[in-house]
Amino acid sequence: MRIYDRYSDDKLEELGLSGKLPKHVGIIMDGNGRWAKSRLMPRPVGHRAGMEALHEIVREAHCLGLEALTVYAFSTENWQRPVQEVNALFGLLTEYFAKEIDELDANGVRIIALGDLGPFPEKVKACMTDAIERTASNKGLRFCIAINYGSRAEITRAVRLIARSRIEPEMINEDLISRSLYTGELPELDLIIRTAGEQRLSNFLLWQAAYSEFVFTPVLWPDFTPEEFRKCLIEFMKRTRRFGKVVE
């Protein structure tokens, strides 16, 4: 197990990253299946390679000092995949946390789940809740894993929570809705990266993406390295964000 230091200002400058880094980055980790197919391997082989890429990217996000990293690991629509693939994904997820938890915890990473853990097998649920509880008071990178996550389900859940609280309709505002989402405690989503070339959200963080920047890369997720990640951040830093205002 290793402790990884944050990059110094000099190191960030050397990497071309001195300036305003995003606080919160979301990643749609796509392309595991195509990666495996191109090697004539079954899709779960691609998911395993994807887990290895994830390990590197979480470490990089920590070293860069990002406040939050949200990764899309399993959507509410992904239940429609063959049961063998779904089970392989759950197995990998359990394995990932069993293997990584000590190092993540030692580096001050806080693990957060976005999505409904209810329908998962007990073993998956147990390893996730264990990781969440164990790291709950950590103050470093917030590593949010969107599993059984769909933005429409998230918004529906938030509306139900608000309705149950019997609040006066006039008291419902954007801030209350934001706070009722799974991401309620997280900083604004500055950047969404999607790998593997597709240019769509696939039900990821619809509300939160209102003013996010988007970077699409053709690189398949298992081939997405810290260097590719930094290229996306450099691209983000070149953008002018206007938020509807006039910016000279």
7, 78, 153, 228: residue in contact with ligand IPE (rule CB under 6 A): 78
Judged by beta carbon distances under 5 to 8 A according to partner kind, the member of Mg ion, ligand IPE, none in contact with residue 131 is none
Beta carbons within 8 Å of 213's beta carbon, 6+ residues apart:
22, 190, 191, 192, 236, 239, 241
Q: Per-residue string for binding with Mg ion, 152-191, x by CB under 5 A?
A: ----------------------------------------
The CA-to-CA distance between both ends of the chain, in Å, stands at: 48
State the DSSP code for 94.
H
Within 9-48, the residues that bind Mg ion by CB under 5 A are: 30
33 scored as a contact of ligand IPE (CB under 6 A):
yes
Contact present, 203 and 151 (Cβ < 8 Å): yes
Cα 94 from chain centre: 17
22, 26, 31, 115: residue in contact with ligand IPE (rule CB under 6 A): 31
* Active-site option among 32, 78, 107, 173: 78
- Using the contact rule CB under 6 A, the part of the chain among 56-64, 136-144, 166-174, 192-200 near ligand IPE is 192-200
* Mode of pairing for the β-strands spanning 142-149 and 191-194: unpaired
Q: CA angle at residue 179 from 204 to 242, to 5 degrees?
A: 65
Is 30 considered catalytic here?
yes
Residues that bind ligand IPE (CB under 6 A): 28-34, 72-75, 78, 89, 196, 198, 200, 202
List, by residue number, the catalytic residues. Answer: 30, 78
